[in-house]
Amino acid sequence: MTITVRFAPSPTGYIHIGNTRIALFNWLFAHKNNGQFILRFDDTDTVRSKTEYAEATIADLDWLGIKPVRVEYQSKRIPIYDAAAEKLKAAGLLYPCYETAEELERKRKLRLARRLPPIYGRDALKLTPADRQKLEAEGRRPHWRFLLPNFKDDPFSVARTEVHWNDLVRDRETVDLASLSDPVLVREDGTYLYTFTSVVDDIDMDISHIIRGNDHITNSGVQISIIEALGAKVPELGHINLLTTASGEGISKRTGALSIGSLRRDGYEPMAVASLAVLIGTSENVTAVPDMATLADIFDPAATSKSASKFDPAELDALNRALIHAMPYAQAKDRLVALGIEGNRAEEFWLAVRGNLSRISDVISWWTIIKDGPATEEQLAEEDREFVRTAFDLLPPEPWNRETWKLWTDAVKAQSGRKGKPLFMPLRIALTGLSSGPELADLLPLLGREGTLARRP
C-alpha cells in the first residue's frame, strides 16, 4: 500500500502556523514512509473562497519545502459528490429535512427543557411523500441529513453506538453516535458540506492516513460511518493537538495573526518555522533542525501531547538565530548576492558576522560598516579620543590575518597601560560605531590597514 496523505485547507484566508503544523505533520509522515502528499482545497464556499488565498497557500508551503504530488480543488469535483449523494439516497441513508433554522432552535430548546440531549429528533423521517410535496409547494427546499447507524430497528429508538479507532496520536479513541445529531451533508441550495466532500475525496483519492487537528475527533466518528455506508475502507486516523497564541487564544485565518506570509516577510527562516511548528507540544526537544529530511527522521506523531500548545514568537526568534549562526556560506550565498554582498571576501565577511544576526537582512548593516565606515549609534567619550588616536599609530604592517588584532592590542596595552573593557571598547566604537558586534579579530582583516586608518578619530 502506498501511504497517501492530504492537507485540505479552505482558501478563505492566508494559512497560519496552526494550519501549517497540520500540513507539516502530513508531509513529514509521507516523506518518512515514502508516500505522497496531496494538497486539496476545500473551496466549495463560493462566497469566501478566493484564488489569491489558494495561490498564497501553495507559495507558503513551497517556501517551507512542502511540494504536493498534485493539487486538487473540490469545486471541480461536484459530479463525484453528486454520485455519492445519490448512492446514499438510494440506500435510504440520506433523507430530506424541511425545518428552518428557527424551527430547529425551538425543537432544541424543547428537548433541553425535557432533559433530553439537544440532538435532532429525526422528525423529517415521519413525513409522507404528500407532506414533502406540500412543503415544497410552499417554497421550502430540503437540506439532507445522513442517517447515523445508532439504532437497531427503529430510528426513533436511539441506542449507544460506539465507533472506535486506534489513533496515530491519541491511541484508542471512541465516539458515541447516540450523542450526535444526524449531520447535514447537503444544504438547501444543493451545495455540499465539508463532512461529506472530505469523505468522498478521501475515498476517491485512496487516502490511507488522515492527520488533522483534535477538534475533528467527534467529526471522525461521523465520517467513519459515512465511509462505511459508501462501502469503502476507513483510513488510519491521527488527531494532533492545536496551537494557540502565546496568550492562549486560538489562531484564526480571519485575523491574519501568525500567518506564514507574515513570518516570511518578517525574515524568519523556513526551518525555524517548521522546527517550532512540528516539535512544540511533543516529547522532542524544540531545537533548530537544519533541513526537512532531518526533521522527518526525528518526527513521530505518537510523541505529540494531547493538550494544546502555545506558539511563542520568542522561541521562534531563538531558533532563527541558531540557524543563521550555523549557516554555511554556500547556503547563504545567493541571498547575500541578492542583497548586494559579493566578491572575493564575501565568504570571509559572512563567517565573521553571521553570529551576530537575527535575520539574514541584518547583514546589510555590517556590510555597510565594513565598506563605508562606522555607524553613528555610539560616540567615543572625550577621554578616549586621544587614547584611540595613539592606538592607531601602533597598527602593525600588512598583511593582516586573524592574529593581527592580538598583535595590535598587545602593543596598545603595553604603551597605554589599559586592559580589558577600557582598552577594547573604545577601539570597537572607533572601528564600528557600535559597542557590541562580531569578533574584531575577524573584522580587522576585512577592513585592512588603509580602511582602519580611515576610521581614526
pLDDT in tens, 126-137: 999 999 999 999
Residue burial 58-90, b: 16+ Cβ < 10 Å; e: rest: bebbeebbbebeeebbbbebeeebeebbeebee
CA distance 255 to 261: 13
Q: Exposed, middle or buried: residue 55 (CB in 10 Å: 0-12, 13-18, 19+)?
A: exposed
pLDDT attached to residue 72: 97
Give the cell for residue 269: 527562516
DSSP 251: P
Instruction: Phi first, then psi: give them for residue 212, nearest 5 degrees.
Output: -150, 180
State the CATH class of domain 373-454: mainly alpha
Is 255's pLDDT higher than 70? Answer: no
pLDDT average, residue stretch 403-409 = 97
pTM across the whole model: 0.90
DSSP string covering 170-192: TEEEEEEGGGSPPPEEE-TTSPB
DSSP 233: P
pLDDT tens digit sequence for 207-224: 999 999 999 999 999 999
Count helices and strands (H / E) in the chain.
18, 12
Is 254's pLDDT higher than 90? Answer: no
Give the cell for residue 6: 492530504
Give the cell for residue 350: 559572512
Q: How confident is the model at residue 256 (pLDDT cuts 50, 70, 90)?
A: low
pLDDT tens digit sequence for 417-435: 999 999 999 999 999 999 9
Is 294's pLDDT higher than 90? Answer: yes
Is 381's pLDDT higher than 70? Answer: yes
**Any residues with CB less than 8 A from the CB of 85 and at least 6 apart, and which?**
94, 144, 185, 186, 192, 196
pLDDT attached to residue 377: 64
Taking the domain 79-166, which CATH number applies? Answer: 3.90.800.10
CA distance 425 to 22: 49
- Residue identified by cell 496523505 is 5
Q: Is the dihedral of CA 368, 373, 379, 380 positive or negative?
A: positive
CB count within 10 Å of CB 250 equals 13
Boundaries of every domain in the chain: 79-166, 373-454
Query: Is 253 annotated among the ligand-binding residues?
Result: yes
